[in-house]
Structure 1
Amino acid sequence: MMTLSKNEISTMKQKLITMKKSIEEKQDNSLLDESMRESTGDITTGIGNHLAEGNAERVDREQEQTFEQIDEKVLGEIDDALDRIEEGSYGVCVDTGEEIPYERLEALPYAKRTAEAQEKFDKGY
Structure 2
Amino acid sequence: MMTLSNNEISVLKQKLTAMKKSIEEKQENSLLDESMRESTGDITTGIGNHLAEGNAERVEREQEQTFEQIDDKVLGEIDEALHRIEEGSYGVCVDTGEEIPYERLEALPYAKRTAQAQEKYDQGY
Instruction: Give the TM-score range, shorter chain.
Output: over 0.9
* CA distance in 1 between partners of 2:54 and 2:8 (Å): 49
Deviations 1:17-36 (A, max 9, x none): 00000000000000000011
| TM-score in terms of structure 2 length | 0.97
* CA distance in 2 between partners of 1:53 and 1:98 (Å): 52
What secondary structure is seen at the aligned counterpart in 1 of 2:117?
helix
* CA distance in 1 between partners of 2:108 and 2:41 (Å): 38
Aligned residue in 2 for 1:25:
25
Aligned residue in 1 for 2:82:
82
Paired letter, 1:3: T
| TM-score in terms of structure 1 length | 0.97
Are 1:53 and 2:56 matched, yes or no? no
Paired letter, 2:103: E
* CA distance in 2 between partners of 1:36 and 1:42 (Å): 9
Q: Quick one: structure 1 residues 41 and 2, their matched pair in 2 at CA, closer, same or farther if it must change by over 3 Å?
A: farther
What secondary structure is seen at the aligned counterpart in 2 of 1:119?
helix
Are 1:14 and 2:14 matched, yes or no? yes
What secondary structure is seen at the aligned counterpart in 1 of 2:40?
helix
Aligned CA RMSD, in angstroms, stands at 1.0
Paired letter, 1:21: K
TM-superposed CA distance for 1:2, in Å, is 6.0
Paired letter, 1:84: R
Runs of at least 5 residues in structure 2 that lack an aligned partner in the other structure = none
- Count of aligned residue pairs for this structure pair: 125
* CA distance in 1 between partners of 2:98 and 2:88 (Å): 14
Superposed structure 1 runs of 4+ greater than 6 Å apart: none
